[in-house]
Amino acid sequence: MFFVRTLRAALVGVLCLALPALAGDPPLGEAKMSTANKAAAKVLKARMQEERPEDYAVLQKVEAAEVVVVSGEYDRVEDVLREVGVPHVVVTPMQLARTPLNAKQLLIINCSGSLGPKGLEKVRKFVNAGGFLYTTDWALTNVVEKAFPGFIAFNGRETADDVVEVQVKESSGSNLLKHLHLANANPKWWLEGSSYPIRVLAPDKVEVLVESREMKKKYGAAPVAVMFRYGDGKVLHIASHFYLQRNQVRSVAEAKKGGAYLKEDAKLSKKAAEALANDEDVKNAQAGDLQSAYAAQQMTSNLVIERKKDQARIDQLYSKTLAQPAPASRASAGLGSGTRVKVVEQKGEKVKVRSMEGDEAWVDLAAVK
């Protein structure tokens, strides 16, 4: 599985170099999943406008610079964001180390997440300063374990190309889990071959949001989506991918066409279900595919909304300003006069301050206003 996936990445790289004039990337996964992802986005937007208009309004206010996506070989969360209508910026793994980041942003790293030392340090500083990080699959070992050791790890058992039923821990009260169920059935989660199951190393610090009893039985670890705090920020990691590329039908309801499913099974108002039932993407989507794509899209949208809402907290954290510049050091860039900072430590008349970019310096207490 590892060889197949790596070979595919190499071929994609060669094609990108040989055919630079091609516009856009081909859809990932099975062709029918492109339709399911389009249909799911339409259902998500209709449901949010009806049942969570305040959250939907927040989603509409997101600006491209607030969501930074690091491109990957095996996943494309940028396709999910585009379908849902969330503006964003895409950078390559090599560009990340030179990309300005600050604590108000959401950083999303597609699998595989091969960043290099400078990129990893950039990510660590970003989260420590208050940023939100969202990663998937192989980024578990390539990013999370390296930048944030001691929280979660790969359990050592790669998955097959598989689909498992998942259980959403709604009792946690997390806003990230709002509306993940489109019907009463549990969503399905696709695991690409060689996906990395998640082992929780610090149960007292890591919150499991979504798990799978089926995944635990097959691969020795139940967590599918986990979150932990680091410094003033948060890290959310999921097993496998943001963008649903394959699915499995396991019930009569899941085998229905999308329009019938929305009318008969989905948690939608009659008005919304009837309005969507005649949409071409919804009509051509299979219910099980639509439901699974919807769950992944809704979690991503919820995170974007919570990041936007959380920006007020960041403003409060960085409520001080420097009255005079702080020189650069080997560990950090210099901080200019007027930089917004947070005081993180004090020793006598000296204080350590941190900027929203994650840079730190010791300055005179009197220099902080």
3-state secondary structure 44-112: HHHHHHHHCHHHHHHHHCCCHHHEEEECCCCCCHHHHHHHHCCCCEEECHHHHCCCCCCCCCEEEECCC
pLDDT for the residue numbered 334: 78
Around 88, how many Cα atoms within 13 Å sit in the side-chain half-sphere? Answer: 26
Q: Low-confidence residues of the chain, pLDDT below 50?
A: 1-24, 250
Around 312, how many Cα atoms within 13 Å sit in the side-chain half-sphere? Answer: 3
Domains of the chain: 30-314 (3.40.50.880), 320-367 (2.30.30.40)
pLDDT for the residue numbered 176: 94
pLDDT for the residue numbered 173: 85
pLDDT for the residue numbered 12: 35
pLDDT tens column, 149-192 = 999 999 999 999 888 989 999 878 899 999 999 988 888 888 88
> Which residue type does 195 have?
S
pLDDT for the residue numbered 3: 32
Strand ranges of the sheet holding 223-230, from the earlier edge strand across to the other edge: 89-91, 67-70, 106-109, 132-136, 233-238, 223-230, 206-211, 167-168
pLDDT for the residue numbered 8: 40
d(C-alpha 23, C-alpha 206), whole Å: 41
